[in-house]
Structure 1
Amino acid sequence: MLDSDYTQRFLFDDTDVRGEWVGLERSYVEVLAKHPYPEPVAQLLGELLAAAALLVGTLKFDGLLVLQARSAGAVPLLMVECSSEREVRGIARYHEEQLTPGATLAELMPEGVLAMTIDPANGQRYQGIVALDGIDLADSLSNYFASSEQLPTRFWLNADGRRACGLLLQQLPANRIRDGEAREASWQHLRTLADTLTAEELLGLNTETLLHRLYHEEQVRLFDPRPIRFHCSCSRERSAKALISLGQHDAEQLLGEQGGSVTIDCQFCNQKYRFDAADVTQLFAGAGIEGPSGTRH
């Protein structure tokens, strides 16, 4: 039986277009379990999680993809990370008193910007930024690709607090169809069919059924699914490095202010890492993180 969380790539054999589908259930629920997000925030975060998983499927790299949306409104921050190993995590910040039922993206995130960062394990870090000026996140992401001289790419995203799903279509360099007008007509045809998708279909159908419903007259080749899971990359070692970055004087001052121990919280998963005076002394002596404190998480 196919797991509930996976991405699946497909190709149109008669044209230069590829696609990716994603369904997130368990991983999405695990992200939401870490924080009690209201419905509109949970929906936006789910859509961004789905988008990140779709994008990783189009990239050939070993590293981390980060999508970060910021605004001056009720939802000042959405942040999602997806590794090349398809491990996802996400977080949102919101002002509950400013949330209104049925609010649009523009109303929830006015003056919003979306940053996409590709951080490879080896190689140069890349970041692109675009305004959140679409009618929804899918439209804004599509606008990002339209304005960045990359391959034309369209997104369809939806989330309901239980499941987050998405579809991506991307036009490839000319190979099977070289005539410009014919390429554009084919691309427009496939996009128009995808535009008929309802939220219920996107959230409720598996890849094979959805593609048959949309493209039963096309030659579609479906590849094996790739599993996705929730995983938080925080660790005691990373927290120790953050403490060291403060400098010994400030770290010791923080110890005094917090009653003899410093606790570093992971904003993504709520894990807490505690360092006492002996730990801090050991860290700045260069002895590492294994040491005298009896508290380990």
Structure 2
Amino acid sequence: MSDTIQRFTFAKLPIRGEVITLEQSYQTIVEQHQYPKAERQLLGQALAANALMAEIIKIKGKIALQLQSPSTVKLLLTECDHQGHIRGLMHTNESNDGSELNFPNWTQNGQMAITIEPEEGQRYQGVVPLENQNLAECLEDYFARSEQLPTSIQLYVNDNKVTGLFLQALPANSQQDISPEDKAGAFEHVKTLAETLEANEALNLSHQEILYRLFHQDEVTLYPEKSIEFQCSCSRQRNERALSTIEPSELVNMVKESGGQLELICDFCSSKEVFSEDDIMTLLSSNAPSDSVN
């Protein structure tokens, strides 16, 4: 099944939306590390949320979603770029085999960071405390603080699939003829309808069926699908650049202590790159400054 995200708009309401389904990419990512059920569900929610943000913010580059806490969630990190390439990982401070997802306890005293990295231009990061009952509410809080735009996010997940629904009021300058009161009323209207969607409906209906189920009395335009797929940006060249940042004598000692070769394993996709002692010496030689004669 192809994973997709679609934008939609309301003809008579100052609101934009997105709906996303992840299945193949979600399963690929969580199976790479054999996450327990509750952990894979939280990671799945984050993957869908990240892709929704990447589509709404619309930059040429990537957007990362990161959760960190001294509690259960040591690190959760997802990334999505403008081409719909997505990846993610999760590290916990304790085993959660058989336990249920308890977001407030798992993220107690933690924080969430949204990092926007355009291919050209300045990197931006917004950080908010994790003070809500679930990830969707934390993201709604982020948009309220950073953009002052009413936002509603619904995330539904099971062992195999994730569905997300995103609603947001349009910026004030895009609807000058609508009063603040009418705008607030319109958003409350669609938010209330969205909250009636049941998990079994979200995870089994098509995007078109979901929107008809919720908003059939409103005039909604659903735009063409955009594909989302897992793709990791790791490579041998990236690993070489990382090794080049290590002091040469320390790097030589590392390869000798490891029996003549270094193994670098990607945290995201678990792919392995092996560097022999000859590879390391060649890397050091190519990076060594050359003497010039005037």
| The one of 134, 137, 142 aligned to 1:136 | 134
Offset of 1:259 from its aligned partner?
1.1
140-149 or 181-190: which moved more? 140-149
2:271 is the alignment partner of 1:271: yes
TM-score by length of 2: 0.93
Superposed CA deviations along residues 81-115 of structure 1, whole A, max 9, x for unmatched, are 11111001110112444666334201122112110
| The one of 47, 50, 66 aligned to 2:48 | 50
Q: Is the 8 A contact 2:42 2:101 kept in 1?
A: no
Aligned to 1:293: none
Letter in 1 for 2:104: A
Aligned to 1:121: 119
* Runs of 4+, deviation exceeding 6 Å: none
Between the two proteins, the alignment pairs up a number of residues equal to 286
Superposed CA deviations along residues 185-228 of structure 1, whole A, max 9, x for unmatched, are 00111111111111112211111000001000001011000001
SS at 2:54 equivalent: helix
- Counterparts of 1:1-297 in structure 2, within 5 Å, are 3-97=1-95, 101-174=99-172, 175=175, 177-286=177-286
Quickly say closer, same or farther: Cα 1:177–1:47, change in 2 above 3 A.
Answer: farther
Q: Which consecutive residues of structure 1, in runs of 5 or more, have no partner in the other structure?
A: 289-297
Q: What do you get for the CA RMSD once the two structures are aligned?
A: 1.6
Offset of 1:161 from its aligned partner?
1.9
% of aligned pairs identical? 38
Measure, in 2, the Cα distance between the counterparts of 1:271 and 1:99: 25
Offset of 1:150 from its aligned partner?
4.1
Superposed CA deviations along residues 234-273 of structure 1, whole A, max 9, x for unmatched, are 0000011110011212211111111111111101111111
47-56 or 254-263: which moved more? 254-263
245-254 or 162-171: which moved more? 245-254
Measure, in 2, the Cα distance between the counterparts of 1:222 and 1:177: 24
Q: Which consecutive residues of structure 2, in runs of 5 or more, have no partner in the other structure?
A: 289-294
Q: Is the 8 A contact 1:41 1:75 kept in 2?
A: no
Measure, in 1, the Cα distance between the counterparts of 2:95 and 2:47: 25
234-243 or 95-104: which moved more? 95-104
